[in-house]
Structure 1
């Protein structure tokens, strides 16, 4: 309880102080909020000031539940910004960019992790699946600044927003491949040796696992979750609209509906073991399918609430980063994983993505700005709890590297451009 109080106190103090200069920092130096928040968390963590030092096991429980709430809130926020027509008009491109590119990237990352770490096959795939989705929180912070509004077209910003909102669904799909196929092909041995891993994939138990995988993942975690989310979103929209027109509720109360719907979806999916992120995404799409909901609510209040949650989470994540668990091999693998996404997008650009992504420069931009964030930690912890593995250390390292790399990308680019401009002026 004392740790919770310290977290509330430190994150609240940070939000109060930093919010006074946040706009200036973002517009002047192009530094996103997660970067500053994570650095603050590291400073008050056990490596420096030791103000917030939660027990390792206890902190996992906090991070799992806290990250789940933040991801769900951010997914709802993004889904409310996406037009239903945009999904239908760009279905082919989104399928190729999210599903196909996600699977290809996951396969490359799996091979990398399996060959260069101590993880066995199932855990290697689970970690690869955790690192596949791009993070909606980091993506939103990167593309919402003044630099992005001036230099990045709305078309590319829309692609990044939609991708980061949808692709958490593919994370649960890929993770379940590990949980329901790779692990369950050998129920006697909990850990599969690398020597016999591929041989065990083709045992008679594989077909039983495939059947369970199809039922549990495709039917329950994807199809049923999407249907429940769409129905709840549609019903909420219909009754909210009628009550609002009859002046039975105000716009301030109307804003609460999206938050209430988010937590309702979370509760239902927890009870039936469905996918809360997929359910919430479709709830948001159908809640605002005609644009009425967002036109009537105050989006700024909604953004304030969501930003407060994610800042508190990143303060805690920063305090829990244990640099003693990182090593040079881990950093090399994480950097390779981040740049593998660029390679995959460039690989698929010409044959599959050329209609919406018009040149290699745009493909490079889309490939690079796919940060790894809270989703990686959430999925790795889900796997660690069920299998008793330690994939979360790689996930924490990936978040640290991604926040630093993507957070400094725009400031370094702007600074180098100014330096080059001054050099040219000096020459003439």
Structure 2
């Protein structure tokens, strides 16, 4: 007779699944109230849950104890890489027809001018407030926090509140920027790392040598090659899917899941030859829907929203659980509470908003100071920053010359992520209590037409009547809806009511219209 009749599994995997599943189930029961009435973001609640169940409160889940530091870092790197890759590809899919080309001037300013300025401004803050860091080391940390997170940006670009109060042109440019610049953080990070290597393993190399190495290895091989490869993958995927759909070779479920498979394929193949897989995913997604064919046919399907919800909750619960709160009271690190709090506030205020506002006239997608203020503020720091932590730790010199940088990198960046999740997560609820920039954006489109359609909404409500009413208001140009469309707008077909797109899907798969 066995010694134990009943065997229990108290493994870390079982506990983690129980905690994550419990959070998703409980949140799901209240999700409509939380998102559409309280206007709280999923990442904020997930990070809060992660902190509560993590090692510093209930100690139910402790990812740091799953293995040694190297193993934990690898898990974090892989997890965040997959999440960011899927999210940026979905960002590319959600943009209107040929959007990257139509708004190329705005994107060039945001992705090169604003990112570069934000990089130096953030580095100055780190250099001034974190003891015993060189400016070059501060640039290395700043490179992790300058990309705009697509997951957090999604909370202001989709949903009923966004559709009523945020103009479609603002939503689209935020989505495009957040999708593209997550992959464009590599040049900034690697430039700092290559220059740092001159004091370590590459002592004999000159600045010119390292910059030349950066140009061909990063700008050429990682950035330009990933753009070409992503464009090619997206183009071939679009043609292949059209061919299969026209011959009824593909069923409905796999048609909708095609984008997710494309994300995995792009991540894997680009990673095999060491190029920028995150940027390749975004380019592949936009190339895939360059003609709006796939996007229009999937507007009524909730598959992407379901994937978003599960991934977002899982990754932000994980992030909440790995924030090293003990490091902020460690006298050796000198990251005292007031330093990181001041850093969090100043980075959010000075990293983006002043520079986007100053460049308003150079960004055609933003028509006035109110829109540029809004777009400048909503440039959150999130999963991409956690991903770049792991990239930096893998690439930094490990010869003892950068021990200080390696020690403070993770706690500093994770606190910036926490600050952004908290601040951007409560901005909308606070704005509902009184007049603010987001409330005033409702008036921006009362007398103007929108040039491009809004990105696909992944926050549909269960109440069909509300959707129909909102669509009718858009057709009539009702001032109550913040995105009234002009009837001559070429992008209106993709942005107005979803009834037309439902007809397309029904025709393709024999569903009822």
Does TM-score exceed 0.5, indicating one fold?
yes
By how many angstroms is 1:204 displaced?
A: 5.6
Alignment partners' CA distance in 1, 2:237 and 2:367? 38
Q: Secondary structure in 2 aligned to 1:95?
A: helix
Alignment partners' CA distance in 1, 2:12 and 2:355? 42
By how many angstroms is 1:277 displaced?
A: 1.0
Residues 80, 287 of structure 1: 8 Å contact kept: yes
The answer to whether residue 406 in structure 2 is matched with residue 393 in structure 1 is no
By how many angstroms is 1:223 displaced?
A: 1.0
Alignment partners' CA distance in 2, 1:153 and 1:166? 20
- The residue that corresponds to 2:83 in the other structure is 70
Residues 184, 279 of structure 2: 8 Å contact kept: no
Alignment partners' CA distance in 2, 1:44 and 1:104? 38
> CA offsets per residue over residues 388-426 of structure 1, 9 Å max, x none?
5131211110111111111111111212359xxxxxxxx
By how many angstroms is 1:61 displaced?
A: 2.6
Identify which of 98, 103, 106 aligns with 1:93.
106
The within-5 A match list for 1:279-428 is 279-297=280-298, 299-326=301-328, 327-340=337-350, 341-350=352-361, 352-353=362-363, 355-387=364-396, 389-390=406-407, 391-417=409-435
Higher relative contact order (CA 8 A, sep 6+): 1
Residues 34, 138 of structure 1: 8 Å contact kept: yes
Residues 8, 312 of structure 1: 8 Å contact kept: no
By how many angstroms is 1:161 displaced?
A: 1.0
- The residue that corresponds to 1:160 in the other structure is 174
By how many angstroms is 1:143 displaced?
A: 2.5
TM-score (norm 1): 0.89
> CA offsets per residue over residues 299-322 of structure 1, 9 Å max, x none?
411220122012111111111222
* Cα RMSD, aligned residues only: 2.0
> CA offsets per residue over residues 322-346 of structure 1, 9 Å max, x none?
2222322122112111111111112
- The residue that corresponds to 1:104 in the other structure is 117
- The residue that corresponds to 2:509 in the other structure is none
Q: Going by fraction, where is helix more abundant, 1 or 2?
A: 1
By how many angstroms is 1:185 displaced?
A: 2.6
- The residue that corresponds to 2:223 in the other structure is 222
By how many angstroms is 1:259 displaced?
A: 1.7
Residues 7, 312 of structure 1: 8 Å contact kept: no
Residues 64, 322 of structure 2: 8 Å contact kept: no
Q: Secondary structure in 1 aligned to 2:357?
A: helix
The answer to whether residue 242 in structure 2 is matched with residue 241 in structure 1 is yes
By how many angstroms is 1:169 displaced?
A: 2.4
> CA offsets per residue over residues 277-302 of structure 1, 9 Å max, x none?
11111111121111122233464112
> CA offsets per residue over residues 19-65 of structure 1, 9 Å max, x none?
12111111111111111111111111112111112226244332221
Shifted more, 66-75 versus 14-23: the winner is 14-23
Q: Secondary structure in 1 aligned to 2:218?
A: helix
Alignment partners' CA distance in 2, 1:417 and 1:184? 50
Unaligned stretches of 5+ in structure 1?
A: 191-202, 419-428
The count of corresponding residues between Structure 1 and Structure 2 is 403
Residues 114, 124 of structure 1: 8 Å contact kept: yes
Shifted more, 97-106 versus 248-257: the winner is 248-257
Alignment partners' CA distance in 2, 1:264 and 1:15? 27
363 and 323 in structure 1: CA distance in 2 versus 1, 3 angstrom threshold: same
Identify which of 133, 137, 149 aligns with 2:163.
149
Q: Secondary structure in 2 aligned to 1:312?
A: helix
Q: Secondary structure in 1 aligned to 2:20?
A: helix
By how many angstroms is 1:372 displaced?
A: 0.7
Q: Secondary structure in 1 aligned to 2:199?
A: coil
Alignment partners' CA distance in 1, 2:116 and 2:97? 25
Alignment partners' CA distance in 2, 1:225 and 1:88? 17
Q: Secondary structure in 1 aligned to 2:294?
A: helix
Alignment partners' CA distance in 1, 2:201 and 2:243? 57
Residues 110, 125 of structure 1: 8 Å contact kept: yes
Alignment partners' CA distance in 2, 1:399 and 1:70? 16
- The residue that corresponds to 2:13 in the other structure is 4
By how many angstroms is 1:85 displaced?
A: 2.1
Residues 67, 378 of structure 1: 8 Å contact kept: yes
Residues 226, 282 of structure 1: 8 Å contact kept: yes
Alignment partners' CA distance in 1, 2:149 and 2:289? 22
Q: Secondary structure in 2 aligned to 1:345?
A: helix
The within-5 A match list for 1:242-261 is 242-261=243-262
> CA offsets per residue over residues 146-178 of structure 1, 9 Å max, x none?
222211111111111111111112211111111
- The residue that corresponds to 2:36 in the other structure is 27
Q: Secondary structure in 1 aligned to 2:62?
A: coil
By how many angstroms is 1:188 displaced?
A: 4.2
Residues 102, 170 of structure 1: 8 Å contact kept: no
Residues 63, 318 of structure 2: 8 Å contact kept: no
